[in-house]
């Protein structure tokens, strides 16, 4: 069976300081990919955002959870605000993506990343750049493809938004391949997760 021609999708992952929709967003990770072309990824991005200007929510449980994560993840979280990207610069960079060409905006559960990022955009007087019909759910496609956790691609660095987005995009490709009965390609040589 021949694979579809290039179809551009985006996987988004957030790191936050709360689980609520008004959470402080500390990092946005994004990777462009074609779910029909297994193992092939487009560009990926990571934006460590300044937190002070956000005036959004954080909670002690999430802070405690961060303290239990790997040294590498905690170091990324501990980057000082002055060394993070100003919010206006993030919107400028995020806006450089041609969102009209994006057929699907994926996230690991549609009740977390998409609503938080939508709220974030709204708080700063911006509209989300994707069409309202494009959000897709990573967990649902894994369920449909019968891909348990041990068959999902693990991120090179767990709880790094870009690394998580890459692993999730590769897993969506794996799920599409399984659903359609395609032979799965090896992961890209520069990927260091499993």
pLDDT tens digit sequence for 63-119: 999 999 999 999 999 999 999 999 999 999 999 999 999 999 999 988 999 999 999
- C-beta separation of 155 from 166 below 8 A: yes
Question: Is 138 inside a domain boundary?
Answer: yes
Rounded distance, CA 175 to CA 159, Å? Answer: 22
Q: What is the pLDDT of residue 37?
A: 85
Measured in whole angstroms, how far is the alpha carbon of residue 149 from the centre of its chain?
A: 17
Q: What is the pLDDT of residue 2?
A: 38
Closest CA relative to residue 135, chosen from 106, 115, 165, 99? 106
Considering its fold, how many domains does the chain have in total? 1
User: Please, what is the average pLDDT of the chain?
Assistant: 91
Q: Which residue range forms the structural domain that includes residue 40?
A: 9-180
Question: Is 45 inside a domain boundary?
Answer: yes
Q: Tell me the mean pLDDT in the region 59-65.
A: 96
CATH number of the domain enclosing 42: 3.30.420.10
Produce one character per residue of 138-168: b if its CB has 16 or more CB atoms within 10 Å, e if not. Answer: beebbeebebeeeebbebbbebbbbbbbbbb
pTM exceeds 0.75 for this model: yes
Question: Is 188 inside a domain boundary?
Answer: no
Residues 6+ positions from 141 with CB-CB distance below 8 Å: 172, 175, 176
Question: Is 189 inside a domain boundary?
Answer: no
Question: Is 4 inside a domain boundary?
Answer: no
Q: What is the pLDDT of residue 184?
A: 62
Question: Is 157 inside a domain boundary?
Answer: yes
Question: Is 143 inside a domain boundary?
Answer: yes
Q: What is the pLDDT of residue 193?
A: 56
By three-state DSSP, how is residue 122 classified?
helix
Question: Is 54 inside a domain boundary?
Answer: yes
């Amino acid at each position: 069976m021949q694979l579809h021609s290039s179809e551009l999708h985006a996987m988004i992952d957030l790191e936050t300081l709360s689980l609520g929709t008004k959470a402080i967003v500390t990092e946005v990770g994004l990777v462009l990919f074609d779910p029909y072309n297994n193992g092939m990824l487009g560009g990926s991005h990571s934006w460590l955002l300044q937190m002070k200007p956000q005036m959004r929510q954080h909670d002690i449980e999430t802070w405690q959870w961060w303290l239990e994560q790997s040294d590498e993840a905690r170091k990324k979280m501990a980057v000082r605000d002055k060394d993070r990207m100003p919010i206006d610069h993030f919107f400028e960079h995020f806006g450089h993506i041609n969102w009209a060409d994006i057929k699907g905006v994926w996230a690991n559960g549609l009740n977390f990343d998409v609503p938080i990022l939508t709220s974030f955009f709204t708080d700063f007087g911006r509209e989300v750049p994707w069409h309202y019909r494009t959000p897709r759910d990573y967990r649902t496609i894994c369920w449909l493809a019968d891909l348990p956790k041990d068959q999902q691609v693990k991120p090179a660095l767990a709880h790094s938004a870009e690394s998580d987005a890459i692993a999730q995009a590769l897993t969506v490709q794996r799920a599409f391949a399984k659903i359609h009965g395609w032979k799965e390609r090896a992961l890209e040589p520069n990927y260091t997760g499993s």
